[in-house]
Chain A
Amino acid sequence: MFGNYLKVAFRSILRDKGYSFISIAGLAIGLSCSLVIWLYIVRETSYDRFNENPGRIYRLTMELKQADRTAHTAYVQPLPPLEKEFPEVAASARLFTYSWKERTLVSNGSKYFYEERFFLADPSIFKIFSIPFLKGNPESALAGTSGIVISESIARKYFGDEIPLGKALSVKNLTPAEFTVSGVFKDFPDNSHFHCDFIAPLAAGSKLFWDGFLERNSFYTYVLLDKGVSAAGLEKKLPSLLARRLGMDAGSYQLHLQPLTAIHLRSHLSGEIEANGDLSTIYLFSLLAFIILASACINFINLATARAEGRAKEVGLRKVVGAQRVQLICQFLSESFFFALAAVPPALALIGILLPPFNAILNANLSLSEVGRPVFIAGLAGIILFVGLVSGGYPAFLLSTFQPARVFQSRAGSRSRRSLSRTVLVVVQCTVSVILIVGTLVVFSQMRYIQNKKMGFDKDGLVILHLKDWESLQGYPSLKSALIQSPNILRVSASADLPSEVRRRQLAWHEGLAGETEEPVSWNAVDYDFLETYGIELAEGRDFSKEFPSDEKQAYITNEAAAKTFGWDQPLGKMFSLSNRDLMRPMFEKGTVIGIVKDFHAQSLHKKIEPIVLSIQKGLYRYAAVKIRPGRTAEALDFMAAQWKKVYPDRPFDYFFFDQEVGKMYQSERRAGRIFGVAALLSILVAGLGLYGLASFSAARRTKEIGIRKTLGASGGDIALLLSKEFTLLFVLANVIAWPAAYFVMSKWLLSFAYRIRFGPEFFALAALVAFAVMLVSVGGQAVKAALADPVDSLRYE
């Protein structure tokens, strides 16, 4: 029986090639989107599960309650070995990475590189995490303080084909130290929440950093619990540990046990080792893929029900020869599964096309090799089941209701009922497409606005050199003097933070405040020439100047927002100081405000401009900014590289362009725009295909009517209008629904920006125009074809 169904399905696909192509193409697009998202979801939810006992591994996190806020950090105070404190803990290990990752300079004697992913860890780290060793012994590789284990890629980078064991590596964070390679491990897989290239013993921290490293630092701390142990039960015992061993008040500090497998998608604590994933991204993508897949199913349903009359005779006949309704439903469901299966090969081909831009947009690393994995095949089977049931369910139900008596008397079914459901589905497709187009237009407009918006500082022509450590900072004055000699370099300055991303907050006192009251402000430590280098304009007063020695300690420049917030009508000369509270040694002196700068965007355009204070603090610069003469970039860079080599002979010349760095702040929005754009394109493509199919069906169904109308005097234009009218009304209805929905969603998104575009009617008009153009192409061709046909061809069969 099933063979009979398949034969009929296959042959009817071949007979109606046009409609079959439309249905299969739409399903292939929907399937491929869903499968790519499925691959992504599988990857994102697989993080850290490569470890042998992922369900028993936990990370300790710390919650600190302060006066006005609670901080929750991914790292904790130094704790005693937990396996000695609690019998439930099988192993524990601490992990450390310096907070500014690029500051580790590593050399094998001839090559040197700045390395991210340099870690220190307890030897027990290999008992908790499954990190396969290619060389050396994980039990002993980190014993002592002189061994270091490296990844396979690093081994190749530094030692080529030579055996790295026993070779020397020089490492410098704050102070230089020598290590001997004692092991090589397989590169961490992509789906780990942290990735190490180097692991040195935690005990070596004091030689790399400072004395008291182990006692006064914070560490990422992981535990492996024994089988059957309840993490909740252990967590209840942790306050007693804090009180007993560390004398810490459980009211202010709380330790929590965070499941390893929850870190990647659910943890956004302060100080995460790497930027984690985001459940909301998964939800958004899943929703978009679902929309496109649903649109493809809608196409299938529409075309199947539109062509139902053509199958009525077959249904009636099958009932006459004995088919039960259930058997007919099975037949038509198996046809829809057959269509879904037929869409799989083109879908897989499409995945090959979709994956590279998807990987680029999301910075993911998915590949076609995952297609053979059981979990992918399971997902594919699930999606096909869904598509088969959803697409085939309604047509199967509808077709199986045809009564033989009515079929053979040409009363196949209520035409109005079928048309209503098709109308609804077409309107849904068009509505979704218009919403996605509006979304894309809004996101792209906002991105363009951000790109072009005056930030209050120059973005172009600025090269930034990262002063990665104390020695770099020491060499900065010589570097600055050397660079300024070049005619291709206009100005050089430095600052603790880039002016576009001022992160530091400090409490400040000014003479308007009573007693010792202090207010929080954003603050940046800057060098002389900072304002001129970055093109930040003064509204009042003057810039820092070497002509005034007191500027080095007792001068402050604020922005207009600060003057307004502090209530200053006459800001110049106001007494001011940043606070030395909580600092290890006092840094700030009471001084005066010497200048007010025009407001500039010290943070992303998501946030309103806040009060900001600039002062000179030579020991804190991390970024040197070099303003290049326009058109002389290459020459300036060559000169800079040469001067860098003279000042820092043993470290690589590394730089980036300021405008690119500013652009990175909006990476996720740009990504959202691209994703919306792709989703809108695919959605409109699928909807357009569906409209094309329906239009050609409609024209075929009305052949006789068209023939009669033409015979009675209708022109080609009258016929084209007649056929288009049906779809134009649907189009208008779709827009009526889509516009308020799109406005609601996108205006909410725009609210996340303190500075945003005006969301006016032009967006809706443009979206409607695009959708109309697609409709015109899909439907118009059929209308014109019908209009130009000879009446006798339509009437001949009579």
Chain B
Amino acid sequence: MIKTKNLKKIYTTEEVETTALNDINLGVKEGEYVAIMGPSGCGKSTLLNILGLIDQPSSGEYHFLGEEISKYSERKRASIRKNNIGFVFQSFNLIDELTVYENVELPLLYLGFTAAERKKRVSEILEQMQLMARKNHFPQQLSGGQQQRVAVGRAIVARPKLILADEPTGNLDSAHGEEVMKLMAELHESGTAIVMVTHSPAYAEYAQRIIHLFDGHIVSENIQAKFKI
């Protein structure tokens, strides 16, 4: 599903050039669950942003579902993104002016779903996330765990092939963190590919493969024992 070749990302300011990613060669199969780990500043979030087409590499190739898309315009990338990829962020990134229902509904609006279709899908997701009773609440009225469940619901409402999660449990306590990780595992079991950035070795265990990043390089890749054939 995903294949990168010599991917590089360099940030340039007036005085300094920073290489965030250096020759990243990575592949993710359809339905695979991959965790990316590494110390702060090693380029994990940068890599996730590029994989999620919300940032562009400075050089190298990025093949997504068979297309080389590293040079695509923002317009094209937005189109691929909304049809195929869902995002879960550490700080939830819900829109404060929208209710739970409206936050989950948002991707469907941009996909042009009819009102009836949107209602059906959003209701299914809210049931799945056990948030139906909170559908008219605003994010400020929810706990951290509930907010992240809304964010997960928003990420999957369009039935994407790939979920990208950037430290989804980073702002949650352990109980809520576990809740979210179980949700992600269920999504994986239903066939969705997941690429997750995490600091926590315990949460990384949920993944089939763990990639270690250091100073913009992939330094190692482990396939989890329980997933080895």
Contact = CB atoms under 8 A, between A and B. Distances in A.
Question: Do A and B actually bind?
Answer: yes
Chain B contact surface mostly: helix
Contacts, number: 71
B82 interface: yes
Contact of A7 (B52, B83, B102): B102
A316 interface: yes
Contacts of A408: 45, 49, 89, 93, 166
B75 interface: yes
A17 B46 CA distance: 37
Contacts of B52: 320
A316 B93 CA distance: 9
Contacts of B94: 317
Contact of B107 (A7, A313, A322, A409): A322
Q: Most chain-B Cβ atoms within 10 A of its Cβ — which of A4, A320, A327?
A: A320
Interface in B118-173: 154, 166
Contacts of B26: none
Interface of B: 45-46, 49, 52, 54-55, 74-75, 78-79, 81-83, 87, 89, 93-98, 102, 106-107, 109-111, 154, 166
Interface of A: 1, 4, 7-8, 11-12, 15, 313-314, 316-325, 327, 403-405, 408-409
A11 B49 contact: no
A324 B78 contact: yes
A11 B110 contact: no
A323 B54 CA distance: 12
A327 B107 CA distance: 13
Given A15-B96, A313-B93, A1 B109 contact: yes
Contact of A405 (B55, B78, B95, B102): B55
Contacts of A15: 96-97
A570 B99 CA distance: 97
Nearest to A310: B96
B98 A321 contact: no
Contact of A8 (B79, B87, B95, B107): B95
Nearest to B87: A320
Contacts of B78: 319, 322-324
A8 B97 contact: yes
Contacts of A318: 95, 106, 110
A404 B55 CA distance: 8
B218 to A, nearest CB: 20
Given A322-B81, A327-B110, A8 B98 contact: yes
Given A8-B98, A313-B93, 17 more contacts: A4-B98, A4-B106, A7-B102, A8-B97, A314-B95, A317-B94, A318-B106, A320-B54, A320-B93, A321-B82, A322-B110, A323-B110, A325-B75, A327-B110, A405-B55, A408-B45, A408-B89
Contact of A4 (B45, B79, B93, B109): B109
A138 to B, nearest CB: 63
16 contacts: A4-B98, A4-B109, A7-B98, A8-B95, A8-B98, A314-B95, A317-B95, A319-B54, A320-B54, A320-B87, A321-B106, A322-B111, A324-B75, A404-B49, A404-B55, A409-B45
Given A322-B111, A323-B110, A405-B55, A12 B87 contact: no
A676 to B, nearest CB: 42
Question: Which A-B residue pairs are the 6 nearest by beta carbons?
Answer: A322-B82, A405-B55, A322-B110, A11-B97, A404-B54, A321-B107
Nearest to B166: A408
Nearest to B140: A15
A7 B102 CA distance: 10
A278 B78 CA distance: 57
Q: Most chain-A Cβ atoms within 10 A of its Cβ — which of B75, B81, B93, B94?
A: B93
A316 to B, nearest CB: 7
Contacts of B74: 325
Contacts of A320: 52, 54, 81, 87, 93
A213 to B, nearest CB: 79
Contacts of A11: 97-98
A8 B109 CA distance: 14
A251 to B, nearest CB: 73
Q: Most chain-A Cβ atoms within 10 A of its Cβ — which of B49, B95, B111?
A: B95
Contact of B93 (A317, A322, A323, A409): A317
Contacts of A319: 54, 78
Nearest to B95: A314
Nearest to A411: B11
A761 to B, nearest CB: 44
Contacts of B106: 4, 318, 321
Nearest to A325: B74
A266 B82 CA distance: 61
Contacts of B95: 8, 314, 317-318
Nearest to B110: A322
A321 B110 contact: yes
B182 to A, nearest CB: 24
Contacts of A327: 110
Q: Most chain-B Cβ atoms within 10 A of its Cβ — which of A325, A408, A409?
A: A408
B97 A405 contact: no
Nearest to B106: A321
Contacts of B111: 322
Nearest to B154: A321
A16 to B, nearest CB: 10
Nearest to A5: B109
A80 to B, nearest CB: 76
B150 to A, nearest CB: 12
Contacts of A1: 109
Q: Most chain-B Cβ atoms within 10 A of its Cβ — which of A316, A322, A404, A405?
A: A322
A279 B174 CA distance: 75
B88 to A, nearest CB: 11
Contacts of B154: 321
Contacts of A313: 93
Contacts of A12: 97
Contacts of A8: 95, 97-98
A338 to B, nearest CB: 13
A327 B96 CA distance: 19
Nearest to A10: B97
A53 B80 CA distance: 63
A702 B110 CA distance: 36
A115 to B, nearest CB: 67
A322 B84 CA distance: 10
Nearest to B74: A325
A12 B46 CA distance: 31
Nearest to B80: A322
A408 B167 CA distance: 13
A290 B32 CA distance: 62
A323 B77 CA distance: 11
Contacts of A324: 75, 78
B115 to A, nearest CB: 9
A321 to B, nearest CB: 4
A634 B43 CA distance: 95
A408 B94 CA distance: 13
A257 B82 CA distance: 69
Given A8-B95, A317-B93, A320-B87, A405 B82 contact: no
Contacts of A409: 45
Contacts of B45: 408-409
B84 to A, nearest CB: 10
B89 to A, nearest CB: 7
Contacts of A325: 74-75
B146 to A, nearest CB: 18
A648 B71 CA distance: 101
A409 B91 CA distance: 12
A12 B96 CA distance: 9
Contacts of B75: 324-325
